[in-house]
Amino acid sequence: MKPTNVAFLGLGVMGFPMAGHLQKAGYSVTVYNRSHEKALRWHNTYQGQHASTIESAVKTADVVFMCVGNDNDVLDVAKKALPAMKPGAVLVDHTTASATVARQLQQEATQQKIDFLDAPVSGGEAGAVNGQLTIMVGGEAAVFDAIKPVMDAYARHSQRLGPTGSGQLAKMMNQICIAGIVQGLAEALHFGEQAGLDCNAVIDVISKGAAQSWQMENRATTMINGEYDFGFAVDWMRKDLAIALDEGRRNGSTLALTALVDQYYADVQKSGGGRWDTSSLLTRLS
C-alpha cells in the first residue's frame, strides 16, 4: 500500500521544514510539537493538519516520522506513539540517537505490529530547508524500499546500511569525520593567520586540491570573518560525539582524535559558544 497519511512529531529547525516538504509533495500531513504554538505556525505556513496530542497525530498515519532531541526524548515520544499507531504502519526516527535505543524501539514496535527504521540525517538546517538531506537508514530492506519514496520529499540521498541500528552507527561515523575535519581546518586557518598569509587566497587555492572538503567550501570564509551562526550547534555536536564515544567504548574502537576534539568543543561551550555552529573551534585558537 502506498502511504498517503503521515504524521511528523517534532518541529525543530529540522522537523519544521521536513514536514513542510511532505505536505508540498502531496501527502496528508499531521504534525505534533511539544510547544503547540510551533505546530500552529507550521499549519499557518503549510496548511497541513496539527494535533494537540501525539496519540491523535498518529492514529490514522501510514508513516510516523519523529525528529526530537535525544535518547530520552525518543523513548518518551515513542511510548505514546506506538500504542496509538495502527498495525502495519511504520515508525521512522530521524533523531540522532544511540543504536541501543534504535534496537529497543524496533523490539517495542514489533510487539505492536509496527515496522521501524532508524534514519538519522545529515545536511543541517540548510539541507532540511532545501530538501537536500542525506539519510542513513537501518532496518528491513522491504520497509526501507516502501518508505524511501516518502523520504525523497526532503532527501538528496537515502540509503539502507544494514539492520536496525545501522543508521545511527553510520551517523556516528559522519560526526567523527566532521569533528576531525573542522579541527584541521581551524588549525590551518590559525597557522595561516600567524604566518601572515591571506587566508582567503590560500583557501581559494587549496580548495581546488586534495585538501578540499564540504567544511572548507562552506565554512572557511565565515570562520575567517568570525561568523558562527550557521546551523548545527556545538551543544548538539557534543551530544552526538558523546553517543559516538560511548559506542566506541562498547565496541572497542580507538577514537583518540574524536575524544580530543570533543574536549575542544567543551572549551567553546565554557566560553559561551554552546549555540555557535561547529566551525567555532577556531575561536579557541584566535
Kindly list the catalytic residues: 171
Q: Are 245 and 172 in contact (CB under 8 A)?
A: no
Residue 101, classed as helix, strand or coil, is: helix
| Bridge partners, residue 269, by sequence | none
Instruction: Name the phi and psi angles at 90, rounded to 5.
Output: -125, 135
Residue 42 one-letter amino acid = W
- Report how far residue 151's alpha carbon sits from residue 139's, in angstroms, rounded to the nearest whole number: 15
Name the nearest CA neighbour of 237 among 261, 272, 216, 270: 261
In 3D space, the residue among 64, 111, 234, 250 whose CA is nearest the CA of residue 169 turns out to be: 250
Look at the alpha carbons of 281, 17, 169, 104 in this order and tell me if their dihedral is positive or negative.
positive
